[in-house]
A and B are shown apart, each in its own frame.
Chain A
Amino acid sequence: EAQVTQNPRYLITVTGKKLTVTCSQNMNHEYMSWYRQDPGLGLRQIYYSMNVEVTDKGDVPEGYKVSRKEKRNFPLILESPSPNQTSLYFCASRQGGYNEQFFGPGTRLTVL
């Protein structure tokens, strides 16, 4: 089944404790992206990647890192999480060109 998977689905952590949220897609998509969703703000793009080893900042990249060492994986790294990073995070992928995105199920992160 074609899908985007994220792990973990739920995470509660404390300020400053490094964490990684994994994202994997099995559709051989070139493009992958991370979003955060906050009430009243919709989805905002954090980082995106056009292909392996090619990444760029989205609208709200501060406090986040990404890497794209393999085509299928695009982990989101929070080196020193803070409470304002408490949010619902989505990974998405799409084929090259102007096509629709396929979203993962989301990761709900709480930073205390």
Chain B
Amino acid sequence: SQQGEEDPQALSIQEGENATMNCSYKTSINNLQWYRQNSGRGLVHLILIRSNEREKHSGRLRVTLDTSKKSSSLLITASRAADTASYFCATDVTGNQFYFGTGTSLTVIP
């Protein structure tokens, strides 16, 4: 399977702290995307980083991509209780086929 894996599977932090989650994948990609899912609901796109990019920012989000290590990280700074959710990375391999990781469950304690 080309499925990615997130690490850690679960993360619990205090409000105001930073949260870092990692994603590893197996094959060459066009881009890598991060999504958030609130308990059993639809996924919401957070950020897309292309294979020729190394770092990208969006608000409190910072994503890095290391294609040599086939890994990516998502950093959420100054976390809020509303950030409590599951976070998934998805690799775009062919432009049509997407492979999602198993997700990191983030709990932000007020």
Q: Which A residues have a C-beta under 8 Å from some C-beta of B?
A: 4, 31, 33, 35, 40-45, 48, 50, 56, 58-59, 88, 90, 92, 97-106, 108
Contacts and interface: CB of A to CB of B under 8 A. Distances in A.
Nearest to B95: A98
Interface of B: 1, 3, 30-31, 33, 35, 40-45, 48, 50, 88, 90, 92, 95-103
A42 B35 CA distance: 12
29 contacts: A42-B3, A42-B103, A43-B43, A43-B88, A44-B3, A45-B98, A45-B99, A48-B96, A50-B96, A56-B96, A88-B40, A90-B42, A92-B43, A97-B95, A98-B48, A98-B92, A98-B95, A99-B48, A100-B45, A100-B48, A101-B33, A101-B43, A101-B45, A101-B90, A103-B35, A103-B44, A104-B42, A106-B40, A106-B41
Contact of A105 (B42, B88, B100): B42
Contacts of A4: 42
B42 A106 contact: yes
Contacts of B99: 45, 59
A50 B82 CA distance: 35
Nearest to A40: B102
Given A43-B88, A90-B42, A106-B40, A101 B102 contact: no
A45 B1 CA distance: 12
Contacts of B97: 45, 48, 58-59
Nearest to B48: A100
Contacts of A50: 96
A103 B43 contact: yes
Given A100-B48, A101-B33, A103-B42, 18 more contacts: A4-B42, A35-B100, A41-B102, A42-B100, A42-B102, A42-B103, A45-B99, A58-B97, A98-B30, A98-B48, A99-B48, A101-B43, A101-B45, A101-B98, A103-B44, A104-B42, A106-B40, A106-B41
A101 B35 CA distance: 9
Contacts of B48: 98-100
A25 B82 CA distance: 27
